[in-house]
Amino acid sequence: MTAISKTLPTIKFLKEPTSREWVELAIANLDTILLDHSHCERKAAGVALNLMFRYPSNTKLVRELTAIAREELEHFEQVNQILESRGIQLGPLSSPPYAAGLKARIRRNEPERLLDSLLVAGLIEARSHERLGLLANNCSDRELAKFYRALMASEARHYGIYWVLATTYFERAIVTERLEELAVVESELLAVVHREPRIHS
């Protein structure tokens, strides 16, 4: 393992950077992290697709999220190829409380539901971007480090797109205020590292 002590990146949107404890847990369990990463890419495609289902009249949203869903599926395929080349069997994996905890904060009525859904999806992408960067910087496996670095740019683009969509359908002040609230929740959910190694432990 290379220096965990490298400066942790600060990602716009995120209230608190990821702890060293998570990095150590993840680096010590890269096979499980890879398998969880596969699930994350498929889930991210599912989130984009569900939003397209729910808001079929929002042309810009549909267009942008189609592109995101396609890209997530491409990454899903790439992770699965790495899993296969390493002899790691695909299979189910329990989810950490992170996504469910965020989802519980999505308000049930429209238009708040749309705003919150976009911001939660954006926050998850932002955290994925940060953590893939940490994996890239701290992982001594060159193939994986290269792979994680290659994915970082897309994750960054994705959270940018969710932000832009939020400001397309809502006033900027409203978006900023709600993002602040949800970002606090997001960081709180990660304040205590979940005992099982996951991308969002």
Cβ-contact 169, 150 below 8 angstroms: no
Task: Name the residue nearer to a second copy (CB basis): 53 or 172.
Answer: 53
Encode 82-101 in three state secondary structure: HHHHCCCCCCCCCCCCHHHH
Q: Which of 8, 73, 106, 136 binds a second copy (CB under 8 A)?
A: 73
Least distance between a second copy and beta carbon 54 (Å): 10
How far apart, in whole angstroms, are the C-alpha atoms of residue 67 and residue 74? 11
Closest by CA position to 135, among listed 40, 62, 13: 40
Q: Which of 7, 53, 85, 94 binds a second copy (CB under 8 A)?
A: 53
Task: Name the residue nearer to a second copy (CB basis): 114 or 183.
Answer: 114
Least distance between a second copy and beta carbon 92 (Å): 5
Task: Name the residue nearer to a second copy (CB basis): 22 or 55.
Answer: 55
Q: Given the rule CB under 8 A, which residues bind a second copy?
A: 39, 42, 45-46, 49, 52-53, 56-59, 62-63, 66-67, 69-70, 73-74, 76-77, 80, 84, 89-92
